[in-house]
Amino acid sequence: MIRKIASTLLITAFVVFTAFAQELRCNVTVSARGIQGANQNLFRTMQSDIYDFMNNRKWTEHVYGYDEKIRCNILIRLDEQVSADEFKGSIQVQLTRPVFNSSYTSTVLNIKDNDFHCNYVEFQPLEFNETSNRDNLTNILAYYAYIILGFDYDTFSPEGGNEYFQKAQSIVNNSQNARERGWKSFESERNRYWLTENILNKSYSSFRSCMYNYHRTGLDIMSDRVEEGRANIANSLRDIQKVFRRRPSTYILQIFFDAKADELVNVFSKSFPDERSRVLAILNEVDPSNGSKYEKIKESEEL
């Protein structure tokens, strides 16, 4: 499997222990500070149940060693208790990826979804059904598990995450009759519906080309060939520019820059003047909201 970057010897050493190893190493936090007078033990149990759901479920057919598990974070903030077992708030999903031959980890995803709405009964098992929308909590969690997998696999092989993005899309399709927000196209231009639509839309396929080239032919070779890796990252931004010029308001553009803006500053602050100029021109065109951050790239040229 292409995403595996640990040595064959390391995999062999752990094979006895990983025959049933799950894919995610997901930290989960549930915060209900905004709900006055609530039973905090309930939310601690919810946090534990969500942790088990994300980390102990088998999401793929692949075998992972412990050090190969995909590192991610889920932060759920509950702001409103609608009834004894019904809650509203937000969910933030973060995915990081190790960079080959280094101790550096790169942020791949940093999504905040404000349409988190669920029912939760303490000590009742979390059950996910792939063909129904009976439980919005497990639908949301499974959706983001597949989004995490899809993005991770895309960074290791061209469009390697197709299977998992399609599974996320199936959850969207099954949730079109859900009363909760976040699943339907008309509710917002930046929600779960549009995330999978954008990813699987062939009109925006250059986004996924960028995700592969940025990480696999860019960051992953920088420990040995810094200038070549940085140049490949600069070239990958042209794919993002193609998406922008096709449709500037595309949701996946926000997804990309929410994860990568700070990293881009760090990468190109040490670049050559002409490369900095080319990258700045692209970034100021496609991501003007982070223009003040990108000024730091220009400032490094003037030092």
Per-residue pLDDT at 169 exceeds 90: yes
Angle between helices 273-286 and 291-302 (to 10 degrees): 170
CA distance 238 to 234: 7
- How far is Cα of residue 116 from the mean position of the Cα atoms in its chain? 16
281-296 tens-digit pLDDT: 999 999 999 999 999 9
Q: Is the pLDDT of residue 5 over 50?
A: no
Which residues are 118's β-sheet partners?
Answer: 87
What percent of the chain has a predicted confidence (pLDDT) above 90? 84
User: Residue 36's pLDDT band (boundaries 50, 70, 90)?
Assistant: confident
**Is residue 96 scored above 90 in pLDDT?**
yes
pLDDT of residue 103: 95
CA distances to 22, 85, 135, 233 from 48, in Å: 17, 16, 18, 39
Binned at pLDDT 50, 70 and 90, residue 242 comes out as very high
User: Percentage of residues in the chain with pLDDT exceeding 70?
Assistant: 92
**What is the rounded average pLDDT of the residues 91-107?**
97
Mean pLDDT confidence for 6-13: 36
What does the alpha-carbon distance between residue 229 and residue 40 come to, in Å, rounded to a whole number? 48
pLDDT of residue 155: 98
Q: For residue range 256-265, list pLDDT tens digits in order.
A: 999 999 999 9
- Provide the sign of the torsion angle of the four alpha carbons 184, 158, 97, 296, taken in this order: negative
The pLDDT confidence band at residue 21, using thresholds 50, 70 and 90, is low
pLDDT tens for each residue of 50-95: 999 999 999 999 999 988 999 999 999 999 999 999 999 999 999 9
Tell me: the pLDDT tens digits for 186-239?
999 999 999 999 999 999 999 999 999 999 999 999 999 999 999 999 999 999
Is residue 248 scored above 70 in pLDDT?
Answer: yes
Query: Is a pLDDT exceeding 70 seen at residue 10?
Result: no
For residue 80, the SS3 value is strand
Q: What is the pTM of this model?
A: 0.92
Helices (H), 26-125: 40-56
Checking if the pLDDT of 14 tops 50, the result is: no
Q: What does the pLDDT read at residue 301? A: 55
Average pLDDT, the chain: 92
- Nearest 5°: the CA angle 173, 199, 166 is 45
Q: Token pair of 145, please?
A: 């598990």
